[in-house]
Amino acid sequence: MKRIAVINQKGGVGKTTTTVNLGAALAYHGRPTLLLDLDPQANMTVHVDKRPDMETETLTNLLIDDKPLNDLIQDTSLEGLSVVPSDTSLAGVEQVLANRIGRETILRQALENASADERFDFVLFDCPPSLGVLSANALVAADYVVIPMQAEYLSLQGMAKLLEVIDLVQKQLNAELEIACVLPCMLDSRTNLSAEVLHEIEEHFGNLLTETRIRNNVKLAEAPSFGRTIFEHAPDSNGAKDYAAFGLEFLERIGESSPAEDDITDDPELVERPDEPPATAEAEAESGA
Ligand SMILES: Nc1ncnc2c1ncn2[C@@H]1O[C@H](COP(=O)(O)OP(=O)(O)O)[C@@H](O)[C@H]1O
Ligand SMILES: [Mg+2]
């Protein structure tokens, strides 16, 4: 089971949208996926149509009361996609755990104890917009980090801090942690600004920047209020197309392409591909094209 933290301490950049719809894309590819809502705002919980109430047990019960992960998993409307919900009580976790030794490793330990491994190929963590104990738990438990970024002015602000925290976690608590990719979200192709910011992101992150761009799409903004993933809400929308493309690119990036996709590498035409010149505008500029 591969664990992925979707993280950026800025709010409103597309973390929750990406967690839900990457999870859905993976589920559609036949990879059972578990979503963990680590944000006290519980946007993801609501997005998959779970309304937290007093009786629902949430991640708080896991982090504070040692409740086994398996007891907290709920199905969603999409086959192969499950969720562990959050609620506002998660906001108190930072304080409750403030003085507890080993507070950053609780989630990793819980995942290791759980038999979730047998049920799920992937578990995705939807992180809160902060770099506190909850995000630390996600980074310590994760194999990969996905960083959604909004292509707008100042979007790189705060990145140095995030990279510093990732580096610290790699050095001290989780040497296996890898940044899988930086995903530009809510792109407005009508403005030059998006292109400029993308260029800046590429200069900063090089080939960690995904080829997939998530365009601004009203269906993506609507889907949460219907409690559905984009593939259920509007399967023909640009939002569905973009997240389907991202799902494939993500699998490829972490070397997890499905057997069917691996097979096509036997096709001689596709094997030629790596020799082709890179098609990015920047590469063209560099090669003097
Ligand atoms: N590509 C997109 N096009 C249009 N709206 C989007 C897109 N991605 C996200 N949104 C909307 O923008 C808001 C913030 O996105 P969200 O995923 O909740 O960000 P975060 O989890 O980082 O705070 C939400 O209302 C969401 O529905
Ligand atoms: Mg969110």
Output the DSSP codes for 159-184.
Answer: HHHHHHHHHHHHHHT-TT-EEEEEEE
Cα Rg for the chain, rounded, in angstroms? Answer: 19
Burial of 74 (0-12, 13-18, 19+ CB in 10 A): middle
The pTM score is: 0.89
Quick one: 219 exposed, middle or buried, by C-beta within 10 A (0-12, 13-18, 19+)? middle
Please list the residues that pair with 2 across neighbouring strands.
122
The residue type at 146: V
Residue (of 49, 50, 59, 117) closest to 89 by Cα position:
59
Beta carbon of 43 within 6 Å of any ligand 1 atom: yes
Give the bridge partners for 187, in sequence order: 215
Is residue 39's pLDDT more than 80? Answer: yes
What spacing in Å lies between the alpha carbon of 243 and ligand 1's midpoint? 13
Whether residue 266 has pLDDT greater than 50: no
Task: Please determine, for residue 262, whether its predicted confidence score (pLDDT) is greater than 60.
Answer: no
Rounded to the nearest angstrom, the distance between the alpha carbon of 237 and the centre of ligand 1 is 15
Tokens 């057997």, residue located: 259
Beta-carbon contacts of 233 under 8 Å, excluding residues fewer than 6 positions away, are: 219, 222, 223, 226
Q: Is the pLDDT of residue 271 over 50?
A: no
* Residue 4 neighbours by CB distance under 10 Å: 23
Does the CB atom of residue 17 touch ligand 1 within 6 A? yes
The pLDDT-based confidence of 260 (bands split at 50, 70, 90) is low
* Domains, the chain: 2-263 (3.40.50.300)
Q: Determine the 3-state secondary structure of 275 from DSSP.
A: helix
Q: Is 15 in the pocket of ligand 1 (CB under 6 A)?
A: yes
| pLDDT tens-digit readout, 187-232 | 987 777 888 889 999 999 999 999 999 999 999 999 999 999 999 9
* 39 neighbors 84 (Cβ within 8 angstroms): no
Nearest residue CA, atom 3 of ligand 1? 216
- Measured in Å, residue 44 CA sits from the centre of ligand 2 at 7
Distance of alpha carbon 195 from alpha carbon 122, whole angstroms: 32
Does ligand 1 have an atom closer than 6 angstroms to the CB of 130? no
CA–CA separation, 231 and 141 (whole Å): 28
What are the C-alpha distances in Å from 85 to residues 65, 69, 125, 136, 162? 15, 11, 11, 18, 25
Helices (H), 99-158: 106-113, 116-119, 133-141
Instruction: Evaluate: CB of 14 within 6 angstroms of ligand 1.
Output: yes
Whether residue 254 contacts residue 248, with contact meaning beta carbons closer than 8 Å, is answered with no
* pLDDT for residue 287: 46
Q: Residue 148: helix, strand or coil by DSSP? A: strand
Say yes or no to pLDDT of 261 above 70: no
Number of H helices, E strands in the chain: 15, 7
